[in-house]
A = this chain, B = another copy of it.
């Protein structure tokens, strides 16, 4: 992918870190299914399925572990 979308894992606040984790989770889907129209078609499918939403939250949680460690948990 030539687009630069992940130049740093460092964010100013935990919430920005969480939102970066969301972006990372979405990019994992985008790399696997590059066709925007297919992803668009699937959105209502998983958006109204409880288990898909829980699974989405889990991917975000895993990516947020990475971002949090990178930022030393914003403790400094």
- Residues of A participating in the B interface, judged by any CB pair closer than 8 Å: 1, 4-10, 13-15, 18-19, 22, 24-29, 31-33, 38-39, 41-42, 45-66, 68-70, 73-75
| A56 to B, closest residue via Cβ | B32
- Stoichiometry (number of copies): 6
Chain B residue contacts of A50, Cβ below 8 A: 42, 45-46, 49, 52
Given contacts A7-B15, A19-B31, A26-B57, list 10 more A-B pairs with CB under 8 A. A28-B61, A29-B56, A32-B56, A45-B50, A46-B51, A50-B52, A54-B59, A55-B55, A55-B58, A70-B74
Nearest 8 interchain pairs by C-beta: A28-B57, A70-B73, A46-B50, A6-B15, A61-B62, A28-B60, A42-B50, A32-B56
